[in-house]
Amino acid sequence: MPHWTSSLLVGAQGHGSDTAARAVDIECDLIRQLTYDDDGLSQHFAGTIRCEGVSYCFTCVVFTDGSGARYVEGLDEFEVVEWGVRFSRRVN
């Protein structure tokens, strides 16, 4: 799983204990939630991911199955909204 995907799960839970989550700043809001007869849950989020000076807006769906296992079901509208990376030039 890419480090930002695990960070997305941690960010959606509101926890900051995952090592990858400390390298990635995620702000998101729950915009919709669906429950299923088999105790499954889909949560739809919209937010911003910041990593190494670049900000991306996104929407995603996090699914939790009846046993409590969570995974990113879908990631949409992932686009750069801010580019703040600085490059240094080595002078000889």
DSSP tag of 21: H
Q: Tell me, what's the pLDDT at 71?
A: 87
Can you tell me the mean pLDDT for 2-28?
Answer: 59
Q: Report the distance separating Cα 44 and Cα 63, nearest Å.
A: 9
Letter for the amino acid at 77? Answer: E
Q: For residue 47, is pLDDT > 70?
A: yes
Q: Residue 48's beta-bridge partner residues?
A: 27, 57
| pTM, full prediction | 0.65
Q: For residue 41, is pLDDT > 60?
A: yes
Residue 36: helix, strand or coil by DSSP? Answer: coil
Q: For residue 37, is pLDDT > 60?
A: yes
